[in-house]
Structure 1
Amino acid sequence: MKQEEPSTNPKKRNWKQLVLGLTIGIGLWPVFLPYLYKYDVVIDAKNMLVISAAMFVSIFIALIIHECGHAVAGKAAGMVFMNISIGPFVYVRSGDRTLILFQMPALGYMGRAMLRFPDRLTDKDLIPKLKLYILGGPLVNLLTAVIAILLVYTKLPSGILLTFGMINLLFGSINLIPTENNGMQTDGRLLAMLSGKQPGKELVLLSYRMMQEDPEGTDWRPETVQAAEEAVRNHSDHPIAGALFYSLASHYLMMEKAANAEAIGRIVAFRTRSQKVDPLQDMADIAMIHILHQSDNLKEEPGIREKLAVIGTTEKVTRHFRDAYTAYLDNNRNTMMKELDVVEKILGKWHSLYLEGHYEKKRIEEIRASKL
């Protein structure tokens, strides 16, 4: 039986997010205003330029601090480092390889620290360790903010240092608001899910369990696959369900079990969208498109062109697969091949969302071999 998940409706959460955002904004003034009065700061073009530059640099440093906080907390929880992204800079450990890449962030993330557990844990052991890992980022930002602001008002009066402290305060606080934007979950929302205050605990736990067993999705335990299926069925309205289905579809197609994948896809893919930009729903939809193509049923799918047309442009791999399939339906091999070349180039040696991209690269080969 499908569980009711009212809090996944963004309209019902907007007022709470607004109140929390205003509270944080108002809370910054008592930190900032005393400095203006105490040191009689002159607000002119030069100082505004300096503060603007300080804000830009502070955001970048705060992002580094945030992701390093996640990484350190994750290691303390017993996790294994996979990769860390800071803007376009990516550091990866993959098997015996170490890669340093310049790659635009996936799904709109400014930064991301990915770690996984090397050994299978019970939910009882997994939840507190995950909470520590997730809390690490915003807590380090807040600790940095407290230290910087105390120094400003005690020993090192500096508008630049105060700006740095406020940016970290803002960064840490916003990340603790339990919300999502275009399907992307804040640290606060993940914590709320794990605490049972918002729906989706099973989806989060399964995501990490699947990554622990095999990040590429070819060697999951049968009971893990079954649990993932049930979670997607029971929480099909949840944003994370789309990403989880994409992983399940990849697994089933690589195991040549397209019928299993399609049965789940009929629940999650091609849903009526509640928001215009929804990259996780895009992933669910393109996963279903892959399934239909492999089953040789793509051209017979009712309304297939309309279903392709609603897939957005936020995630580049998804977008160019969309355009390749559209060209396939148009019997336009040249355009199809060009779009697949773009997908292959974007995936490169390694991708922050698709990792080694074995499944996606296999799909490229199969689409290229298609008869139009």
Structure 2
Amino acid sequence: MTQPAFAHSAAPAPGKVTICDTTLRDGEQTAGVAFSLSEKCAIALALDAVGVAEVEIGVAAMGHQEIAEMRAIAATLERAAPVVWTRLRRGDIELARQTGVRRLHIAVPTSDAQVSGKLRTDRAWVLEETARLVRHAVGLGFGVSVGAEDASRTELGFLIRLADVAARAGAIRFRIADTLGILNPFAAHRLVCDLTGAVRLPVEFHAHNDFGMATANTLVAASAGAPFLSVTVNGLGERAGNAALEEVAAALEAAGVATGITLNTLPQLSALVATASARPLPAAKPIVGEYVFTHEAGIHVDGLLKDRRVYEAAVIAPDRFGRAHRLVVGKHSGVSGLCHALREAGLPDDPDTARALLPFLRAWANGAKRPAGPADLAQLMQALPPLHHGGGTATGGLA
């Protein structure tokens, strides 16, 4: 069978990277997460709409129901290429044929711990089996990428040999996975630089977040020459998760690297996955968290009210992500912010009233543990002496 052309087989142009999402595969491997078919299709459709280039849609070896669902998911994609994940087993490849998908990723254990401990074999067998199965899959019409599982604990020389074997057998890409999440940005940069300078295949980088560095590692991998980046929405994934799509895309675009991702649709995608995974987003989650564009501290609110540029950089402006600044009042509010909140609530908003109200607001915030809304401010106003219900003496407060 003639091998078809694959749109994402070659490396992107300089200044551009390709985003490959694995929310429906590695993301669903998060402990306790399970997506229904309707949720999978909705997520796939949203990933397609946001501009993801490839969507890893599942593991064919899970069985016939999974295969049927993968066929349905693939049918929802209009632009993104669906990818089936397989182990280094011929049976997995035969099952992948039943999905109708023409892109295949073969994961190959590469570290000594995995080769001997999981496969109970040696490096020579891994090289031979990789060559055999890649040739077989290519002969069936698949576009094949090969992934080095546990690459971060694998000798560089063996990774180079494996990539060469994969290329000779017809693979279109070589993925390196920091499976245990042990890399730091310095080590990740060095690994990708060393590998991209020695192999003929485009490199894809797949990071895990065990030390909280998956996003940073993914960014430096791109700068070191990896044009394909593997991510998940909200950073879902095994253990501490993977590199987060929304963080990687936003940071790369801020650095002038095109990703093809429509940034202002990221909050909706994130919310969809958070609901489907039953994993609520942390309030301070970068880009998509509820409070990441919310300000309370007096000095920040005063600056933003005067000129947004004081505490806003264009590359991280909320409107780039379909969001807006939200100014709230609480323990650390100053006079300017409280005056603004009182005005928005239709309450007396002169500076003297705000100064008089600040001690009551701070005491209230200690117990409430949340920003004060209009009803809260109205109730707090009732605690003020009549003199301060629209003007009075100053009691002090931050700007």
Same fold, judged at TM 0.5 (above): no
Query: Whose helix fraction is larger, Structure 1's or Structure 2's?
Result: 1
TM-score by length of 2: 0.29
Larger radius of gyration: 2
TM-score (norm 1): 0.30
